[in-house]
Structure 1
Amino acid sequence: MKMIFKAAALALTPMTAIALTAVPAVAQSKAGIAVADLQRAVGTSTAYTTARTQMNTTYKPQIDAFNARKAAIDADLKTKSDALQAALKAANNKPTPAIETQYQTFQQAQQTAQAELQRLGQPIAVANAYVEEQITAKLSDALKAAMTKAKVDLVLGPDATVSYQPSVDITAAVVTELNALVPSVGITPPAGWQPGRQGQAGAAAAPAANPQAPKSR
């Protein structure tokens, strides 16, 4: 399942690279400093883990089709790559017009394969982004609540620190707050939904049809 989500995400702007810019800026630390891995908090929240389990079932045909096609493409590209390496070796590593043509054919095959896998993985990637966006919409509130309870006024990401004691890591506290704010999410995006444009499709259609806005779960 990890492979399909990782590969399918190539079709979209990554949603899980969550920045700490959501944290209110402070002039100086007055109460304390903490560390929080917000990406891990989202990924280990109950809503996210439950949604991923549901997606394994709901999108199983697409996932199986993607994995089967990817395995076939990988095998084909390996055969082409091995043939190219063998031809180059036979030519004493001296490019020839024939080898150049073979190399260009291999590159084209790679690009075609990537485009095909992106297309096949698009439904799963969009659904995963939809799940993440519903959770991250409450991430700032969850972080603020965790900061208040931990009595800290400055939070750093793990990558922004050289070393820290486990006691200053409030990631688990953020997860607890997320679980309370977003106990569950939907896994089927509304028609026309795109990452970062939540509600835009419905708003555009409202003047003509005035549809009821979908309720978040």
Structure 2
Amino acid sequence: MKTLLKPVFAAGLLLTASATAMIAAPAAAQQTAPGVGVVSLPAVIVNSDAYRVAEQQRPVTYKPQIDQANARRQQIAAQLQPLYTKLQADQQANVAQATLQQQAIAIQQIEQSGQAELQQITAPIQLSRAYVTEQIEEKLDEAVQAAAAKRGVSLILDASTGQVIYAAASYNMTQDVLSEINTLLPTVQLVPPQGWLPREMRERQAALQAAQAAQQGAAPAAAPATTPAQPTGR
């Protein structure tokens, strides 16, 4: 079960049409208990009570960052608009290509700088979303096992991996797992604790530290100094 329930999102959550369909399967079809179940883990996450409540709370909790990002985005757009207008006018006027290229480079630099600034402003928001998702992921394994026990299912496939070609509606256990996750984790903490990092970054840091420790342990020890042999004589 551990291999089935790896973290499903690295950054951001998108509910696909197939994931939505997994939730919308007829309740009557779910009453059959087959030996194999199919679950859309992304659908469970984004439809869970904990995730939806967090999504509703986040615009309030992080309103200062959202307002700051929107204001800065408008400022950047106002700064770029006359540059775009001038570039288009110069192109129509057949201005020298070198001049046009310089204008395009200036626009690109402003765009890249602005994007980096916006990412920095909204970083706490993205960190909050990753924190919420990870808390739910930690309970997925328990929720799947509980749902499987109630349905008498011995094998569950993850529909989000694309490995399922066809599954009858009676195999759909997404709603069962969703019910279990809502019971196990009705709410989650919205604001990460100080210094918290997403799992991927924690694992990367741990791997780097392990590699550094291995390199230090493999460093050859310095050869002890030897005293040259004294000549013997009468």
TM-score, scaled relative to structure 2: 0.63
Q: In 2, Cα distance between the equivalents of 1:140 and 1:98?
A: 59
CA deviations over 1:146-167 (Å, ceiling 9, x no partner)? 2333325031324614554444
Report deviation, 1:72: 3.1
Question: Which position in structure 2 is the counterpart of 1:149?
Answer: 150
Report deviation, 1:79: 4.4
CA deviations over 1:120-173 (Å, ceiling 9, x no partner)? 101111112111111111112212322333325031324614554444332222
Larger Rg: 2
Runs of 5+ consecutive residues of structure 1 not aligned to the other structure: 1-12, 18-29, 201-217
Runs of 5+ consecutive residues of structure 2 not aligned to the other structure: 1-9, 15-33, 206-234
Question: Which position in structure 2 is the counterpart of 1:23?
Answer: none
Percent identity of paired positions between Structure 1 and Structure 2: 35
Work out whether residues 41 and 171 of structure 1, in 8 Å CA contact, stay in contact via their aligned partners in 2: yes
Question: Which position in structure 1 is the counterpart of 2:35?
Answer: 31
TM-score, scaled relative to structure 1: 0.68
Q: Which amino acid aligns with 1:135?
A: I
C-alpha spacing 1:68/1:172, structure 2 compared with 1 (3 Å):
farther
Question: Over the residues paired in the alignment, what is the CA RMSD in angstroms?
Answer: 2.9
Q: In 1, Cα distance between the equivalents of 2:82 and 2:149?
A: 57
Question: Which position in structure 1 is the counterpart of 2:209?
Answer: none
Work out whether residues 15 and 133 of structure 1, in 8 Å CA contact, stay in contact via their aligned partners in 2: no
Report deviation, 1:95: 6.8
Work out whether residues 146 and 174 of structure 1, in 8 Å CA contact, stay in contact via their aligned partners in 2: yes
Question: Which position in structure 2 is the counterpart of 1:103?
Answer: 104
Q: Which amino acid aligns with 2:40?
A: D
Question: Which position in structure 1 is the counterpart of 2:141?
Answer: 140
Q: In 2, Cα distance between the equivalents of 1:14 and 1:185?
A: 18
Question: Which position in structure 2 is the counterpart of 1:120?
Answer: 121
Of 176, 180, 183, 1:180 maps to 183
Work out whether residues 91 and 100 of structure 2, in 8 Å CA contact, stay in contact via their aligned partners in 1: yes
Question: Which position in structure 2 is the counterpart of 1:130?
Answer: 131
Q: In 1, Cα distance between the equivalents of 2:70 and 2:90?
A: 30
